[in-house]
Amino acid sequence: MPSVPSYPGNDPQIPDVRVGPIDLAARVDEALAVQALAFGLSEAEIGVRRQIVLRHLLAPGARAYGALTIEGRLAGFVYGMPNDRSHWWSTVVEPYLRAEGRDGWLDDSFVITELHVHPAFQGHGIGRTLITTITDIARQPRSILSAIDTESPARGLYRSLGYQDLARQVLFPSAAKPYAVMGARLPLRRR
């Protein structure tokens, strides 16, 4: 198992956090509060996502990592699982990937389901550490994820790690904005 990254806090610009495995089911409300701030979710969306997260965590191979402050507060989290073509996400993105000749990415991939960092902790490499830590122990040779299809810090982070666009303008039911599906070979690129 890889060593647990930490940010010791001797630089006032870098928050004092430790990244490691977490029991996301036990911390689901705290994680969704972080996601709501980072992603802009309504109370109704939080309620729906709570059930989705808890269901995802029952999938074989699902795991979660968190960035915890020295006080034990969740500053960010990531979770994912080996992809399964029968999961809802895969059924939505498959036609878009097939149209690009890239639907093979749905096989033997580790999907990053959610990655969010509290706005007060963004910009310090915590998201990078979370995603590289969770994918470093993946048994699959590649990783896939979806992100809002706009030029954003998140898309910049994913590209810097080696993720490339596999399909764009992917429409999820009830999502206001189109998404991009991105994929990368593992291990992810380091700086």
Q: So what's the pLDDT on residue 131?
A: 98
Task: Identify the CA nearest to 78 among candidates 46, 110, 108.
Answer: 110
Percent of the chain clearing pLDDT 90 (strictly above)? 85
Write down the CATH number for the domain with range 17-185. 3.40.630.30
Residue-range domain boundaries for the chain: 17-185
Q: What is the mean pLDDT of residues 118-140?
A: 95
Q: So what's the pLDDT on residue 83?
A: 98
Q: Is the pLDDT of residue 95 over 90?
A: yes
How many angstroms separate the CA atoms of 79 and 65, rounded? 6
9-18, 19-28, 125-134: segment of lowest average pLDDT: 9-18
Q: How sure is the predictor about 127, in pLDDT bands with cuts at 50, 70 and 90?
A: very high
**Extended beta strands in the chain, E state:** 6-7, 17-21, 63-69, 74-82, 109-117, 142-148, 164-170, 179-185
Which residues, 6 or more positions from 131, have their beta carbon under 8 angstroms from its beta carbon? 78, 112, 115, 157, 161, 188
Q: Is the pLDDT of residue 5 over 70?
A: no
